[in-house]
């Protein structure tokens, strides 16, 4: 009887494990997309400046999302629209501040400082001691990853990166709220339109007619798809099935992914210390994922 019960239970356990790991795969895919898109954006900055890149990224992404989703604007409360506006402001701030940082300090250091926002969210927002442990381990890896290069950083660039991290934490919170209040990805499309409208005047002031250059537009469209449309959609879907603190711990993978993107696209070499730091960050993320998977599995 026990053997038969075990055989009958095995498929449900495998389904539960797959269900728990599904959102994790979405987060990792989104991280790969956004960091390789950010590396491509660094190559565009000499053409348009940091604010010009942000404007191209958000404007193209907003147009694509609105055309594909065709979100309804009827039937929502004032609180729903307030959530959209705050989500859009967080998105615009996260992008604008990060690219200002990326224009002044190396990409890896910028992402390392920025990810402190999600890590803080994971610590303060979690009710599980294990999440605090994994966040602490990820923080150690993040600190080690940036230790070699932080001494000579432009303080203004570092301040921009830390501010982008605060906006990133707000983005995580309001992305989850938007996913609960709006169907499919309608809320994301509307919030992205808000972010694009906020960034457009700044981008036009900095880049002007350079934004209309065909090559720049093409590169900007690629950045928009890689760094906004695809990852934001995957993250919003993942946050419907994953606690925000767990999601925030997984964001500690971003410096490791950024280091890989920097190596492959920007030809930035990795040191032994960098590799050790990345191993710590990945270990913390794996631990967080395993903890989430165990909580999702059916109890005997």
Give the model's confidence band at 4: pLDDT under 50 very low, under 70 low, under 90 confident, else very high: very low
Cβ neighbours, 10 Å, residue 96: 25
Q: 221, 74 in Cβ contact below 8 A?
A: no
Predicted local confidence at residue 7, as pLDDT: 42
Residue 91 has pLDDT above 90, yes or no: yes
d(CA 188, CA 248): 19
Predicted local confidence at residue 13, as pLDDT: 41
Residue 97: C-alpha distances to residues 9, 19, 228, 261, 284 (Å): 49, 35, 15, 20, 27
Predicted local confidence at residue 243, as pLDDT: 76
Q: 292, 246 in Cβ contact below 8 A?
A: yes
Residue 9 has pLDDT above 50, yes or no: no
User: Where are the domains positioned within the chain?
Assistant: 29-296
d(CA 192, CA 63): 9
Q: Using one digit for the tens of pLDDT, what is the confidence trace for 36-66? A: 887 778 778 888 888 888 898 899 899 988 9
d(CA 5, CA 26): 32
Q: Using one digit for the tens of pLDDT, what is the confidence trace for 230-262? A: 888 888 888 877 777 777 777 767 777 777 777
d(CA 262, CA 268): 5
Q: Using one digit for the tens of pLDDT, what is the confidence trace for 17-30? A: 444 457 778 888 88
What does the angle CA 89 – CA 123 – CA 131 come to, to the nearest 5 degrees?
Answer: 125
Predicted local confidence at residue 299, as pLDDT: 43
Q: Using one digit for the tens of pLDDT, what is the confidence trace for 162-189? A: 899 999 999 989 988 998 899 888 999 9
Predicted local confidence at residue 78, as pLDDT: 92
Closest to 225 measured CA to CA, from 60, 99, 41, 28:
60
Of residues 2 and 223, which shows the higher confidence score?
Answer: 223
Residue 196 has pLDDT above 90, yes or no: yes
């Amino acid at each position: 009887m026990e053997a038969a019960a075990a055989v009958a239970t095995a498929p449900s356990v495998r389904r539960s494990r797959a269900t728990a790991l599904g959102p994790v795969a979405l987060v990792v895919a989104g991280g790969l997309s956004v960091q390789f898109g950010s590396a491509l954006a660094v190559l565009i900055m000499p053409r348009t400046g940091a604010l010009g890149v942000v404007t191209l990224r958000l404007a193209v992404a907003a147009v694509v999302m609105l055309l594909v989703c065709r979100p309804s604007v009827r039937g929502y409360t004032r609180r729903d629209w307030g959530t959209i506006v705050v989500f859009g402001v967080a998105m615009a701030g996260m992008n604008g501040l990060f690219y200002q940082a990326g224009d002044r300090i190396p990409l890896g250091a910028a992402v390392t400082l920025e990810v402190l926002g999600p890590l803080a969210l994971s610590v303060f927002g979690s009710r599980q001691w294990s999440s605090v442990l994994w966040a602490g381990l990820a923080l150690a890896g993040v600190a080690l990853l940036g230790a070699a290069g932080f001494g000579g950083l432009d303080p203004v660039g570092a301040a921009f990166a830390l501010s982008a991290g605060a906006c990133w934490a707000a983005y995580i919170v309001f992305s989850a709220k938007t996913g609960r209040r709006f169907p499919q990805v309608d809320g994301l499309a509307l919030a992205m339109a808000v972010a694009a409208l906020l960034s457009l005047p700044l981008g036009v002031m900095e880049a002007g007619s350079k934004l209309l250059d065909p090559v720049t537009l093409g590169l900007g469209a690629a950045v928009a798809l890689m760094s906004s449309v695809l990852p934001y959609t995957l993250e919003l879907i993942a946050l419907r099935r994953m606690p925000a603190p767990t999601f925030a711990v997984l964001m500690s993978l971003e410096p490791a992914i950024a280091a890989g993107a920097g190596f492959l696209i920007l030809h930035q070499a990795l040191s032994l210390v960098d590799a050790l730091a990345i191993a710590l960050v990945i270990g913390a993320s794996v631990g967080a994922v395993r903890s989430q998977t165990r909580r999702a599995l059916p109890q005997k």
